[in-house]
């Protein structure tokens, strides 16, 4: 139902791995889970916390929770953790029979949708950073997809902070959206990921980042 590819871009300034993740899995009802996220910090604490969050996210998705309520439970999990931290996350549930995408976010960049050589960011539902406050409520949005659509999920470390400060808060999304003509000519999701890695994967990267790309069949 979709062509998937993903890539992890390590930091060029730290020997310690960060808390960024990407994941995709088929769920028991035939839908697909797509997620990316970033837990603050580096080293063992960040990677163990990320593993805890990702395991909980997978379990709740398999149990049938929709992205909005799922984010609420992830927030409670992080808020009551023995090692408090903050995290951003994006959770999507794609239903191939109807080509509907249901998604929620927690202080995270919205998915980018590319269609017919043009791209746009989806309008984000409400959602604060995971671990920022107890009892937070998370909205959920829906988007009707079409054959050939390309969906790009990424963590906010993709663009160097210097570029973000110099070019504005939307520079990351803007640079990705400007790649729409290249994506339109790509033969596969893997080709698109390779283009993103070539564009953003410099040795001087200040932070870890992940990108996950899905092309709808």
The angle subtended at Cα 25 by Cα 196 and Cα 44, nearest 5°, is 70
Q: Which 3 state secondary structure label does DSSP give 154?
A: strand
Beta strands in the chain (DSSP E): 2-9, 18-26, 32-42, 87-95, 100-106, 112-115, 118-121, 141-144, 150-154, 209-216
pLDDT (0 to 100) of residue 133: 93
CB 6 within 8 A of CB 214: no
Per-residue confidence (pLDDT) for residue 168, from 0 to 100: 44
Pairing of β 2-9 and β 141-144 = unpaired
Angle at 70 between CA 67 and CA 75, to 5 degrees: 125
Q: Coil, strand, or helix at residue 2?
A: strand
d(CA 176, CA 173): 5
- Of residues 15 and 75, which shows the higher confidence score? 75
CA distance 134 to 123: 25
Order of strands, edge to edge, in the sheet holding 112-115?
2-9, 209-216, 150-154, 112-115, 118-121
Question: What confidence tens digit (pLDDT) does each residue in 102-123 have?
Answer: 999 999 999 999 999 999 999 9
Residues 6+ apart with CB under 8 A from 158: 9, 172, 176, 196, 200, 209, 211
> Is pLDDT above 80 for 83?
no
Query: 0.75 cut: is pTM over it?
Result: yes
**Helices then strands, each counted (H, E), the chain:** 6, 10
Closest CA to 19 of 87, 76, 84, 83: 87
185-197 pLDDT, tens per residue? 999 999 999 999 9
9-46 tens-digit pLDDT: 887 666 667 788 999 999 999 999 999 999 887 777 77
Question: Would you place residue 82 in the very low, low, confident or very high pLDDT band (cuts 50, 70, 90)?
Answer: confident
Give the model's pLDDT for residue 16.
61
Whether the predicted pLDDT of 52 surpasses 70: yes
Distance CA 203, CA 132 (A): 32
Task: Report pLDDT for 11.
Answer: 76
Q: What is the pLDDT, as a whole number, of residue 164?
A: 42
Residue range 174-192: mean pLDDT, rounded? 96
pLDDT band at residue 165 using 50, 70 and 90 as cut-offs: very low
Beta bridge mates, 210: 8
Mean pLDDT of the chain: 89
Residue 13: predicted pLDDT: 65
């Amino acid at each position: 139902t979709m062509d998937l590819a993903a890539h992890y871009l390590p930091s060029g300034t730290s020997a310690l791995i960060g808390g960024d993740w990407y994941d995709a899995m088929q769920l028991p009802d035939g839908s697909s889970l797509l997620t990316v996220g970033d837990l603050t910090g580096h080293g063992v604490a960040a990677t163990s916390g990320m593993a805890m969050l990702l395991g909980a996210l997978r379990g709740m998705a398999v149990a049938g929770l929709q992205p909005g309520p799922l984010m609420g439970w992830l927030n409670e999990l992080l808020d009551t953790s023995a090692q408090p931290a903050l995290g951003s996350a994006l959770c999507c549930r794609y239903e191939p029979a109807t080509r509907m995408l249901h998604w929620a976010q927690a202080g995270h960049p919205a998915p980018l949708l590319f269609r017919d050589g043009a791209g746009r960011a989806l309008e984000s539902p409400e959602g604060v950073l995971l671990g920022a406050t107890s009892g937070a409520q998370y909205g959920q949005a829906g988007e009707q997809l079409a054959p050939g659509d390309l969906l790009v999920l990424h963590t906010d470390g993709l663009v160097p902070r210097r570029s973000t400060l110099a070019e504005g808060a939307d520079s990351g999304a803007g640079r990705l959206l400007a790649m729409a003509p290249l994506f339109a000519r790509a033969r596969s999701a893997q080709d698109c990921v390779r283009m993103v890695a070539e564009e953003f994967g410099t040795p001087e990267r200040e932070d870890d980042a992940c990108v996950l790309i899905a092309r709808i069949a």
